[in-house]
Structure 1
């Protein structure tokens, strides 16, 4: 009636009456502002996200808790006081400062201090990855697929979805931190006091929450979920490297220890549970979360739904010849990721290799079991380079699994169906994507070998190390390829189970990195795909293992292609 009345009124009153009627008709709280209106529908969205993650959330949380409990109980059972003292020599090495942390409390080592000093950083990486994937899943991925637009068509505020994702992920971090603290407190390590265990869990939560903020900003910058996850992952990698350089300098008595305070991982490590028990470094994490959330809200208020803050470059009018084939398209889609990983791997490997001189200088003080861990009595430098080849293979395996997962993302984002509508067959498309991934992982291992070999040769002035180091890294590609084959098999038959490859990868990495220290049986250690080829140049390369892995890869990829040809697309 009001609209009708305004229509019948004179032309001078029509515009004002229309505006007044529109303001009355518009649902309250949908103006996009943060105060009240911008959060309309927050509760319903949070409940919806909790339901979507009813399986994913407990899997992440319980996996991190189980890993904490395993470390705490296994170390306490296999290490006595004498063993801990010998391990102190190893932990005080600058290279271990680079990998694990500053090593607080090593002068008066205890089992809880050893656990926190040696293994906490790996748990931090796990909880950070949980945060990155969860925030991306419920924000940018929803916009990319168009589901966020359907949600915004209802009575929901501009910031409701982002806030719901942040709250959900913070809840996951708090629960994970509390359970990890409980797992440590009630373990065979018998930690004391309980507040130190609580501080350990709070440090884990703090790291996860910082990367909630990092990812909330990343999803505003780009229109693609994989790019947003890549940005946040790059920040995580940079945080690890910066912290490592600072901690290495601190262990070696250098003057770059301040670098550790530039990393979110370093803030939690500087709390030093069971040694200094400092709570105040966590304030940096809280401040970072608040600042990052404010930035993300500001940016989100100024961008369109579905778009990133950075403008997308217009494509060429005509595609190049390389895009006329399935292989060319697969390479084009993976090109930017491969370039950034190549740069990161090369720099990281060169840094690791440059510390070969420090390993050589500290070889005299190494306990025998550590020398064996590094590859036997042939030389601590060869052992270190062989061990780092294994370590780099694990990093490259993460790239490989992420890239194979891109097959499912392409299918879910309705990109695969148009490709298959052309003359490209299902087998041809999958084979092209997987071939690029296989070659890309081998390329990254080659770069890792070159970078580490150059760094080691330069630090020791022994260029005979370059060739063996490159070969030792390159042959580890076979272990990475087995994981690629497993991912292809799951994608072909049951793409929803693709996450199981990460469980296999994590289990293999844990067994390879810590199985020897935990004195596990050889049969258990052999369950890791990284334990069969040999850590060359310290150990001989097992040609049988390499050929077996290559054969398994061919079978798994072939079986996955058969499954992909027979199942329906998710868009069908």
Structure 2
């Protein structure tokens, strides 16, 4: 359904004056997200459901589960990362592992849906076209929120049904599903507020993402301070509310009322704001720049740097924090694994057959590398955003060639990847070195291990360039590939994926550093593949039409 046909269909719409056309807009939103929403729901829902079978294989006796719970609750750093363990059943361990991270992923899914169908529609001018039909003032926002509601309900049902079908208690299964889905719905409402406040979809996503990062940090600080999650910092965080539902450990259904109340208040604020502004306007409009542009904006690289520097700074700070946390707990990796041979096998499958601490560090540098691919893909696909937003055409109308313009953004993507991994490795090495009282001896190998992830990230970066240049309408597939590599690296060792499946990820071909043996061959062929993919993409971009 195109925007023009949707506008024509809206003409005979009936119903409330302010909500007229909501049904048609909802159908349009669901049609546009017919791939994205099912992909998010299935990936996250099946991941949570599969975690139960993984824990069943790893900790098959009550004694092993009790030992794991005790070791987790005794380690403040691990509590900050995952939260405390409220129950030592299989379901309780799934809740410990996935309640916080599942809530974060559900929040990301919801904010992307809402911003896409509100502020992004206004930014591209499609909302103004649709509003030429009989569309109520609140219809676009309502349709976007209903799309997010459908996604969150489906996610909660899949998590609850999947865990219950695997033999876990039904009440706890759906308590966990509702906690994760309810957090997603709350952030859908917060994204609706951000869409009214900001002037661009990018800023709306960034503002909501900053709130998400803040509440996760509050939850982490609160859990690090107390072993029973009783800290006020945990209670003021919506991520902490999902944790406090305590699925499989008492099932505090009343905590879901906090999520419902927070969602209701945020929705009320969003509807008040949307009634007080015009389409395309915002309450925090962009400030006019200086009358004369600085010399740094005289070329395409300077423009790309100006557009992407805030994102790069945010990712750098995030990797610094993550590296510091992981480095601080590296010395206690043996406490995390205990005497469980299955858990030890997983760490060594992820991090290599070297000493346990080195295997843990190799696992953490691998995770940093996989997460860095998200930044790289976003930096490359900013080109597509500039193109579809009609901002690239005026630049290319000047004395700027296509490749020169594209390479400005690609330089940020490639160099930025190395920068954030360097800072992440630096923080990881310093954290481990300080805890082990040997900074000079530990920093270098860990930093080198983090930078060794760069070729694999550049392969995915080159793939993003290739898709953008050859089939720009399929750029959303890049996120599916990045997500697939994350899934292979994160849950593949635990679920014992076959080797051919593990080899689909470029990260599987890197040596496990620090501690493992490294040769030049994998780095060279990964770099060669990255160059080949990027070259194909640039050739395709040079030959195709803009837009």
Q: TM-score, normalised by structure 1?
A: 0.85
What's the CA shift string for 1:75-124, capped at 9, x where partnerless? 54676337656755665554443333322212xx3x33332322343433
Kept in 2: contact 1:89–1:367 (CA 8 A): no
Superposition pairs for residues 157-306 of structure 1, below 5 Å?
Answer: 157-187=136-166, 190-192=167-169, 194-251=170-227, 257-306=231-280
State the Cα deviation string for residues 421-457 of structure 1 (Å, max 9, x = none).
2222222222221121110111111111122222233
Shift of 1:558: 0.6
Q: Identify which range, 472-481 or 450-459, moves more after superposition.
A: 450-459
1:65 aligns to what?
45
Evaluate the alpha carbon distance shift between residue 124 and residue 66 of structure 1 in structure 2; reply closer, same or farther with a 3 A threshold: same
Asked whether the equivalents of residues 509 and 530 of structure 1 are also in contact (C-alpha less than 8 Å), the reply is no
Task: Give the drift of 1:378.
Answer: 5.0
Q: In the alignment, what sits opposite 1:341? A: 315
CA distance in 1, matches of 2:273, 2:478: 35
Whether the aligned pair in 2 keeps the contact of 1:166 and 1:212 (CA below 8 Å) is: yes
- Alpha carbons of structure 1 residues 245 and 296: separation in structure 2 relative to 1, 3 Å: same
Higher mean C-alpha displacement, 234-243 vs 205-214: 234-243
SS of the counterpart of 2:494? coil
Q: In 2, are the aligned partners of 1:533 and 1:543 still within 8 Å (CA)? A: no
> Where does residue 456 of structure 2 map in the other structure?
479
- Which shows bigger deviation, 462-471 or 241-250? 241-250
The correspondence for 1:400, drawn from 362, 367, 376, is 376
2:337/2:344 contact within 8 Å kept = no
- How far, CA to CA, are the matches of 2:94 and 2:180 in structure 1? 14
Q: State the partner residue of 2:7.
A: none
Deviation at 1:359, TM superposition (A): 4.1
Report if the CA contact (8 A) 1:449-1:470 is conserved: yes
2:514 is aligned, of 537, 543, 546, to 537
Offset at residue 173 of structure 1 (A): 0.8
Where do 5+ consecutive residues of structure 2 fail to align?
A: 1-10
Instruction: Give the gaps of 5 or more residues in structure 1.
Output: 1-26
**Matching of residues 355-504 of structure 1 within 5 Å:** 355-359=329-333, 362=335, 365-372=338-345, 373=347, 375=351, 379-464=355-440, 465-504=442-481
Match of 2:114 in 1: 135
Deviates more, 1:75-84 or 1:216-225: 75-84
How many Å separate the matches in 1 of 2:397 and 2:439?
53
Instruction: Choose 164-173 or 39-48, whichever is displaced more.
Output: 39-48
- Taking the aligned partners of 2:45 and 2:412, their CA distance within structure 1 comes to 36
Q: Please, which moves more after superposition, 88-97 or 278-287?
A: 88-97
| SS of alignment partner, residue 18 of structure 2 | helix
Cα drift, residue 484 of structure 1: 1.0
SS at structure 2 position matched to 1:272: coil
Contact 1:478 1:549 in 2 (8 A): yes
Looking at structure 2, the residues matched to 420 and 226 of structure 1 have their Cα atoms a distance apart, in angstroms, of 22
Contact 2:58–2:340 (CA under 8 A) maintained in structure 1: no
From the superposition, tell whether residues 258 and 535 of structure 1 become closer, same or farther in structure 2 (CA, over 3 Å): farther
Q: Distance in 2 between matches of 1:169 and 1:267?
A: 20
Aligned partners of 1:284, 1:535: CA distance in 2, in Å?
A: 44
1:98 to 80, 87, 90: 80
Q: What is the match of residue 555 of structure 1?
A: 532
Question: For residue 34 of structure 2, what is the aligned residue in structure 1?
Answer: 54
* Secondary structure of residue in 2 paired with 1:234: helix
Distance, in Å, in 1 between the alignment partners of 2:19 and 2:369 is 44
What secondary structure does 1:38 align onto? coil
- How far, CA to CA, are the matches of 1:376 and 1:48 in structure 2? 48
Distance 1:521 1:431, change over 3 A: same
1:514 aligns with 2:488: no
Per-residue Cα deviation, 1:58-90 (whole angstroms, up to 9, x for no partner)? 333333333344434555467633765675566
Structure 2 vs 1, CA of residues 286 and 437 (structure 1 numbering), >3 Å: closer, same or farther? same
In the superposition, relative to structure 1, how do residues 445 and 165 fare at CA in structure 2: closer, same or farther (>3 Å)?
same
The number of residue pairs the alignment matches comes to: 530
Distance across 2 between alignment mates of 1:398 and 1:285: 29
The answer to whether the Cα contact below 8 Å between 1:128 and 1:208 also exists between their aligned partners in 2 is: yes
Question: Which residue among 110, 123, 126 is the counterpart of 2:102?
Answer: 123
Once residues 521 and 80 of structure 1 are traced to their aligned partners in structure 2, the CA distance between those partners, rounded to angstroms, is 22
Shift of 1:282: 1.3
